[in-house]
Amino acid sequence: MEGPTDPLMFLGWVVLISASGVIAPGPLFATAVARGIDDPRAGLKISLGHAIVEMPLILTIFLGLMAFLQDENILAGIGLVGGAFLFYTGVSMLRPKPEDIEGDTRHGSLMSGIVLTAANPYFLMWWATAGAALIGLAAGFGWWMMLIFIVVHLSCDFAYLGLVSYSVSKGRSLLQGRWLRVIYVACGIFLILFAMYFLYGSLDTFLTLR
């Protein structure tokens, strides 16, 4: 893949391509909204959990060990586990009131970021395609660009998810309990729909391979 030879132009590519993946609605976004109700820093904690999974993956691709990302059986297996977890999380969000989950919100955001990232097969597929191309271009500049690339890419996650949870937290004063409940349930339904999508895609892959 041919790319820009100017470092600043390449970093501009990184921001644009990374942002396209970050701002797309997904499990991390829904969780940042739900947990942001009680914790304005929830998005930052979720992003940290996301980074804990993402950084070793970037290193793995950089070292050329990405065959597992292209194995349909592995991706389907991850999809089944991830779908089951998302379904459980979504259903649990349909039951309690937002006021009753403050403790879980403050202490579970980091783990949510880790699990939701590791259990998302489409996250791995993104890195096996667009992400791998960016890593290849960064490697062409040298190790120093790889480090800058990682910082810039992760900064997009922290900035967006952090802004989401902060905005939701600050907007809480404008909402009454019933509307907070609606937001929380809506996020739960959103996660359940993602779970069904993951599960259907994974089961279809297993049946097709057989």
Q: Which residue has the tokens 């062409």?
A: 140
CA dihedral of residues 147, 121, 69, 7 (deg, nearest 10): -30
Residue 22 lies inside a defined structural domain of this protein: no
pLDDT band at 174 (very low <50, low <70, confident <90, very high): low
Residue 1 lies inside a defined structural domain of this protein: no
Residue 196 lies inside a defined structural domain of this protein: yes
- Given a cut of 60, whether residue 83 has pLDDT beyond it is yes
Please state which of the ranges 19-23, 70-74, 124-128 shows the lowest mean pLDDT.
70-74
Count CB atoms within 10 A of the CB of residue 199: 17
Residue 165 lies inside a defined structural domain of this protein: yes
In the chain, the number of structural domains is 1
Query: 107 is in which domain, residue-wise?
Result: 7-17+27-209
For the residues 50-60, what does the mean pLDDT come to?
A: 91
Rounded to the nearest integer, the mean pLDDT of the chain is 79
Give me the pLDDT at residue 51, please: 95
User: What's the chain's length in residues?
Assistant: 210
Say what percent of the chain tops pLDDT 70: 81
Residue 44 lies inside a defined structural domain of this protein: yes
Dist. CA 126–CA 59, nearest whole Å: 15
- Given a cut of 50, whether residue 101 has pLDDT beyond it is no
pTM of the model: 0.75
Residue 103 lies inside a defined structural domain of this protein: yes
Residue 170 lies inside a defined structural domain of this protein: yes
What Cα–Cα distance (Å) separates residue 134 from each residue in 4, 25, 55, 62, 66? 11, 22, 14, 10, 14
Residue 2 lies inside a defined structural domain of this protein: no
